[in-house]
């Protein structure tokens, strides 16, 4: 298969608890099981992505914090192999201090991009799990990524959040990262039968259809299908440090994420002139031969997060990381909601281009 550039996708939504981490982990794992090389980057100080994959960043030598703060750190030393074809750049709670510690560093928005270049050739898909805020960590993701994927619920208020996020992407694309696009929206915890969800999805479809040819970063964006149904197995899997495919391979959540990932890969290949239909089937057959054994070895080798009573255990930096934790604030610093971009700001009237209709239906109909 001809070499195509890596698809680098930042999973972003400034709203918390919408499914960013669940989507990053499970799309990543599904792509890896297709035999494609995947790197997941945990940019959230909550370290949920790392914990979801059973990786305890605090017991690992180096994490994404070191990569951002320590010029001596080598990118490959911060990466952990967790499954066949699936690597992770983990995080810890220390990362909360990075925003403050980098405040006076020149070109601080591009650090991750520069460091990633050391390993760029090794990966076909890079998925970044971002924190629920639009601070420096998210900005580093936006500078590295080629696209933003927005996990969200098909709810009325979520549309307003999307509208603001699109504006942010537009600002970044006007300065820091001109090649940044919006890949689309993943509907998480989707209630297929609800009338409200159907209305919101129709609204989103229409918005993206009308954006085609606009020249805006979301002109090729779409609602990615299938939507991910609400499925409790997806909420249970992280407590075992497992992906949904390890935990309940044929539950609705696994089926949805697998299908979504296959389309995610196929669309990228097609966009680069590769018809991956037959190739994908061959890859699946080939990789499934060895993947179980390799996964077993990788799981044994990876540092496993201590009892995954994650929600009950306060995460503390280890003693080995004492110098950093001394610098870390007692509480995670407030992360600015407005983005510190050194980019030209659009005139207010231009911002309307990203304004999704968020009027309630009855208002628009004049009822
Ligand atoms: N389709 C789903 N069905 C049921 N539960 C889900 C589904 N998707 C995610 N969850 C659960 O919802 C919660 C929030 O999901 P997740 O952690 O992925 O969101 P997030 O956007 O990454 O949150 P944060 O903003 O805090 O990083 C988690 O407990 C997760 O297990
Ligand atoms: Mg998360």
Reported as a pLDDT band with limits 50, 70 and 90, residue 35 is very high
> What is the 213 CA–ligand 2 centroid distance (Å)?
33
Q: Is 312 helix (H, G, I), strand (E, B) or coil?
A: helix
Nearest C-alpha neighbor of 151 from the set 79, 32, 257, 51 = 257
Q: Rounded mean pLDDT of 211-215?
A: 97
Reported as a pLDDT band with limits 50, 70 and 90, residue 195 is very high
Phi and psi at residue 151, to the nearest 5°: -75, 135
Q: How many CA atoms lie within 13 A of 180 on its CB side?
A: 25
Question: Residues 6 or more apart from 21 whose CB is under 8 A from it?
Answer: 11, 44, 48, 49, 52, 129
Nearest listed ligand to the Cα of residue 243: 1
Q: Is residue 2 part of a domain?
A: no
Residues flanking ligand 1, CB < 6 Å: 16-22, 44, 46, 48, 132, 188-189, 228, 230-232, 234-235, 238, 253
Q: Is residue 195 part of a domain?
A: yes
Q: Is residue 1 part of a domain?
A: no
Report which DSSP code applies to 63.
-
Reported as a pLDDT band with limits 50, 70 and 90, residue 257 is very high
User: Which of the pair, 24 or 361, is modelled with greater confidence?
Assistant: 24
* Tally of helices (H runs) and strands (E runs) in the chain: 15, 8
> What is the 282 CA–ligand 2 centroid distance (Å)?
33
pLDDT of the residue at 200: 97
> What is the 1 CA–ligand 2 centroid distance (Å)?
34
**The pTM of the whole model exceeds 0.85:** no
190 forms beta bridges with: 229
How many domains does the chain divide into?
1
Containing structural domain, residue 302: 7-364
Nearest listed ligand to the Cα of residue 150: 1
What is the Rg, in whole angstroms, of the alpha carbon atoms belonging to the chain?
Answer: 20
Residue 191 has pLDDT above 60, yes or no: yes
Q: Rounded mean pLDDT of 46-55?
A: 97
CB 166 within 8 A of CB 355: no
Residue 72 has pLDDT above 70, yes or no: yes
Looking at the chain, the whole-number percentage of residues with pLDDT higher than 90 is: 72
> Which atom of ligand 1 is closest in space to residue 25's alpha carbon?
18
For a ligand 1 pocket test, name from 11, 12, 17 the mutation site with the most ligand atoms within 8 angstroms of its C-beta: 17
Q: Is residue 228 part of a domain?
A: yes
Reported as a pLDDT band with limits 50, 70 and 90, residue 290 is low
Q: Is residue 314 part of a domain?
A: yes
User: Which of the pair, 270 or 331, is modelled with greater confidence?
Assistant: 270
Q: Is residue 31 part of a domain?
A: yes
Q: Is residue 113 part of a domain?
A: yes
Residue 29 has pLDDT above 70, yes or no: yes
Reported as a pLDDT band with limits 50, 70 and 90, residue 98 is very high
pLDDT of the residue at 57: 79
CATH number where 108 lies: 3.40.50.300
> Which atom of ligand 1 is closest in space to residue 238's alpha carbon?
31
> What is the 59 CA–ligand 1 centroid distance (Å)?
25
For a ligand 1 pocket test, name from 25, 91, 165, 188 the mutation site with the most ligand atoms within 8 angstroms of its C-beta: 188
* Model confidence pLDDT, tens digit, residues 106-145: 999 999 999 999 999 999 999 999 999 999 999 999 999 9
């Amino acid at each position: 298969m001809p070499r195509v550039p890596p698809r680098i996708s930042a999973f972003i939504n400034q709203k918390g608890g919408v499914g960013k981490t669940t989507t990053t982990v499970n799309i990543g794992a599904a792509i890896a099981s297709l035999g494609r090389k995947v790197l997941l980057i945990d940019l959230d100080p909550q370290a949920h992505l790392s914990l979801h994959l059973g990786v305890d960043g605090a017991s690992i030598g180096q994490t994404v914090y070191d990569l951002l703060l320590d010029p001596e750190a080598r990118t490959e030393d911060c990466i952990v192999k967790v499954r066949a074809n699936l690597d992770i750049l983990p995080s810890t709670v220390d990362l909360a201090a990075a925003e403050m510690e980098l405040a006076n560093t020149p070109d601080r928005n591009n650090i991750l991009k520069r460091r990633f270049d050391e390993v760029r050739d090794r990966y076909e898909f890079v998925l970044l799990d971002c924190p629920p805020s639009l601070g420096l960590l998210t900005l580093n993701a936006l500078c590295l990524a080629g696209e933003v994927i927005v996990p969200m619920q098909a709810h009325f208020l979520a549309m307003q959040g999307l509208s603001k996020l699109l504006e942010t992407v537009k600002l970044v694309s006007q300065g820091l990262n001109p090649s940044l696009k919006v890949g689309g929206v993943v509907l998480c915890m989707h209630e297929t039968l609800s009338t409200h969800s159907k209305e919101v999805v129709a609204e989103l479809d229409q918005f993206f259809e009308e954006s085609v040819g606009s020249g805006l970063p979301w002109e090729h964006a779409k609602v990615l299908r299938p939507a991910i149904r609400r499925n409790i197995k997806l909420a249970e899997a992280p407590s075992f440090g497992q992906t949904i495919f390890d935990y309940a391979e044929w539950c609705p959540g696994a089926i949805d994420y697998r299908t979504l990932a296959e389309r995610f890969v196929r669309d990228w290949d097609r966009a680069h002139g590769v018809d991956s239909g037959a190739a994908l089937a061959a890859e699946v057959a080939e990789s499934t031969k060895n993947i179980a054994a390799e996964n077993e070895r990788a799981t044994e080798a990876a540092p496993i997060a201590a009892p995954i009573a994650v929600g009950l255990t306060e995460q503390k930096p280890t003693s080995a990381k004492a110098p950093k934790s001394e610098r870390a604030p007692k509480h995670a610093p407030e992360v600015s909601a407005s983005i510190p971009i050194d980019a030209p700001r659009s005139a207010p009237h231009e911002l309307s281009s990203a304004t999704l209709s968020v009027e309630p239906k009855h208002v628009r109909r004049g009822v």
